[in-house]
Structure 1
Amino acid sequence: MPTPHRTFPLMSANAFVSPTDKAALDNLQKMPILPLIVRKFHESLWDNIDYARNSAESIRCSEKQFPTLYRMLKEACATLDVPEPELYVRYSPTYNAYTSGVSRTYIVLQSSLLDAFTDEELAYIIGHELGHIKCGHVLYLMLARLIMPLLEEIGQVTLGLGKLAGMGLMAGFLEWMRQAEFSCDRAGLLVCQDVQVGLNATLKLGAGSTRFHTETSTDAFLEQAQQHSDNNGLNGVSKAILFMLYTWQLEHPQVVYRAKGLDDWVKSGKYDEILNGQYEQDLTGGSQLGAQHQCPKCKTVLSATIRYCPNCGDDTQSPVRAAHKHCETCNLDLPPDVRFCTHCGNRV
């Protein structure tokens, strides 16, 4: 008998965020130049420009367009308790997906993923991208994408601060981007709830071809990752040279590190704890980007997925809503095509 799919109502991002992600983001936020960068980002209206460009060049998923992908998104949002972003498909021969948009958050799946990945692996990818939303990564991802091309164009000089400051800022963003991926791989696993699926998806990202995928082995992949970690043939000086010449420029960790990171997290027992309902809760939805609303009674700002204010208990939503499903456990009205309540996780 298959294991029932689990949802994690009110789960905080702290339940799965990687310590290295948190440390790298803390270091990035301490850079004196960052507040100015954020202000310049908003002054440039880049958020609106980026959304307009994407919505003109990509196909938006809905109940009428790619309904299977749209259903997968809704189920993943219900699993992680994340406000629903927009979902798009965009042509590209490269295996990739990304999340963007501060005021209107959206996920883009590049078309090659749809052709090469199974539905379960796509659920892992969608869950990974929702992890960026859950962890509050989206603004910083957009800043990184905007700043790095700018630094390259003007000789790695950022806002007149000089080459060294520009290099430091770029290095800080790249280090954080790599560490953030470990948190989001965990989010992907929490959505697909199958370790083999997560490892298979990671293997495909590294191999770049599915022609001989029936001949691949996740056990061999993990063995390779462990051997590389134990003895990659580099001493301290060689590792430093490799980092300075190559690794520091990467936006994603190398695939062997991602596979080992996911496997280590599972072996730590933290994954099973979350599956069993033992996780830190975020009663106000404060760790998430996405839709927010305010309790009319006590003015607490809440995630739009939360109906009853945890501070005063007030019902923050109108009792009459144009929805076709109703959760009998928490009395929440829901869209017609979801399987799990976005508030309490009950099957509807």
Structure 2
Amino acid sequence: MSINPNLFIHKDDRAALNALKAIPGFTPLLKSFMKVWSEKQFNIENMSTNLKLGPNQLPKYYNMLIPICDKLGIDVPDLYLKLDVYPNSYTSGDTHPFIVITSGLLETLPDELIPTVLAHECGHIACHHVLYHTMGQIICSEAIQLLPFGELVSIPIQKAFSYWMRCSEYSADRVAAVCDESPNMVIETMTRFAGFDKDIAGEINLEAFMNQAKEYKEMTDGDGWNKTLEFIMYSDNSHPMNAVRAYEINEWAKDDKFLKIVKYTNSDKKNIKEYIDELPVGTSSKNLIGSNYSELKNQLEELGFENITLNKVIEKGLLQKEGQVLSISIDDQDTFNDDEWFKINSKIVITYYEAETEEELLAKHPNELRIPLSSDQISGKHFFDVEKMIREAGFTNVVTEEVKRGKKGLFDKDNTVFLITINGESKFKKNDWFDKESIVKIQYNTFDKK
């Protein structure tokens, strides 16, 4: 079972992505990109140039990936090693994401930090970043000038892509910290990227680096000009600064919810109750309105919730669709945010719209029958057809009466119904219910032949 990405998504990640999508021109750019872009290009490059790791090729690193994917509930992506002295890792693709790490990364970081890097990259997959990341890397590079949709790329879109990619790194860092069950490995990784190569003699001091990160945040956040300088200097960067990432992950890990997420992510989802007594819904109540009730129920059950009640509403609203969720409450709380947690045995009520079934309708109307057409629809039809239809509906007390109408007019027709009554009622709607023993009287026209 995949972990709900809302557990990890940083608020700046979500806000930046929404802002990116809202820029005029983004939608046509995305459509154009999807027409020309192909994962096969990456497969060709990786398979022909880089070293594919696996059970029989540097298995030490490949085997680090498998337990991470198990925790996050994602498929194990292909893993490649690239000859490059620059310490780096990245994830690309779409339907079949892959991870690339460089030889420089293995030379810079000790082996115990490689799982942290791999968990970070898997975090991009779990948070559904990969397609937009791939698109952003191309759009923000010089290669965009060679592509047919290059004229659709504006500076605001490039800046917004860069900003979102920087913000998305915070979310991926959270995934890594959760998999490590501590922020310290992420912080140490940032410290080493900042300059502490594994071959440097001496011990690393994480506390000193965090003090440096705190000092930097105070310097930039406390002065408008410093903040402006930061933006000017780094607006084209795809990653936040090392100190900023260390500060962000350290602050997030101080929240009690971090420990909850750690326990939840690292628990056996098949026996969830043995590990924790609270679960994350992962989505706000507002976002659940309009979803399919059956899919939502299955989703909540997969999370581990046990006490789910379905409340069916048969009155159809103007824009309601079959099976649509109208409201959801948890322990009588009908509004909640995407970061709230609830007890496993919390009472969940899902209210949804669905038309009554035939069986339900019949059960509500014992010894009754439905009239198949309204009185207005019956008027003007041939009485023989009407009588047949009424009897097929189950009515047995059906009476027909010929009514002489005199001279035939231009638009008059013989044997057409001009009045039908059911127990004396002359006005009724289609599918109105009547007692089985009701008397149905059909009066029809006949005219003089001369």
TM-score normalised to the size of structure 1?
0.72
Divergent runs of 4+, >4 A: 150-154
Q: What is the CA-CA distance between 1:139 and the residue it aligns to?
A: 0.7
Q: Name the SS of the counterpart of 1:252 in structure 2.
A: coil
- Decide whether the 8 Å contact of 1:107 with 1:129 is kept in 2: yes
Residue 154 of structure 2 corresponds to 166
Moved more, 103-112 or 232-241: 232-241
Q: What is the CA-CA distance between 1:90 and the residue it aligns to?
A: 0.8
Unmatched 5+ stretches in structure 2: 265-277, 284-293, 303-450
Distance (Å, rounded) in 1 between the aligned partners of 2:213 and 2:295:
49
1:203 aligns with 2:196: no
- Decide whether the 8 Å contact of 1:11 with 1:279 is kept in 2: no
Q: What is the CA-CA distance between 1:234 and the residue it aligns to?
A: 7.2
- Decide whether the 8 Å contact of 2:78 with 2:99 is kept in 1: yes
Q: What is the CA-CA distance between 1:191 and the residue it aligns to?
A: 1.9
Distance (Å, rounded) in 1 between the aligned partners of 2:129 and 2:92:
9
The count of residues paired between Structure 1 and Structure 2 equals 277
1:64 aligns with 2:56: yes
1:55 aligns with 2:47: yes
- Decide whether the 8 Å contact of 1:99 with 1:129 is kept in 2: yes
After the TM superposition, which residues 116-127 of structure 1 pair with which residues of structure 2 at under 5 Å, given as runs?
A: 116-127=108-119
Q: 1:212 aligns with which of 200, 203, 209?
A: 200
Unmatched 5+ stretches in structure 1: 1-8, 284-297, 307-348
Distance (Å, rounded) in 2 between the aligned partners of 1:14 and 1:92:
34
Question: CA 1:243–1:14 in structure 2 vs 1: closer, same or farther (change >3 Å)?
Answer: same
- Decide whether the 8 Å contact of 2:16 with 2:167 is kept in 1: yes
Aligned Cα root-mean-square deviation (Å): 2.9
Question: CA 1:153–1:38 in structure 2 vs 1: closer, same or farther (change >3 Å)?
Answer: closer
1:83 aligns with 2:71: no
Question: CA 1:231–1:190 in structure 2 vs 1: closer, same or farther (change >3 Å)?
Answer: same
Residue 271 of structure 1 corresponds to 258
Q: Name the SS of the counterpart of 1:202 in structure 2.
A: helix
Distance (Å, rounded) in 1 between the aligned partners of 2:224 and 2:235:
16
- Decide whether the 8 Å contact of 1:88 with 1:108 is kept in 2: yes
Moved more, 130-139 or 234-243: 234-243
Distance (Å, rounded) in 2 between the aligned partners of 1:121 and 1:199:
10
Residue 226 of structure 1 corresponds to 214
Residue 174 of structure 2 corresponds to 186
Q: Say which structure, 1 or 2, has more relative contact order (CA 8 Å, 6+ apart).
A: 1
Decide which structure has the larger Cα Rg and report it.
Answer: 2
Distance (Å, rounded) in 2 between the aligned partners of 1:252 and 1:265:
18
Q: What is the CA-CA distance between 1:232 and the residue it aligns to?
A: 4.9
Per-residue deviation, residues 165-198 of structure 1 (Å, max 9, x unmatched): 7110011001100000000011111222233222
- Decide whether the 8 Å contact of 1:80 with 1:190 is kept in 2: no
Q: What is the CA-CA distance between 1:113 and the residue it aligns to?
A: 1.7
Q: What is the CA-CA distance between 1:151 and the residue it aligns to?
A: 7.7
Of Structure 1 and Structure 2, the greater strand share is in 2
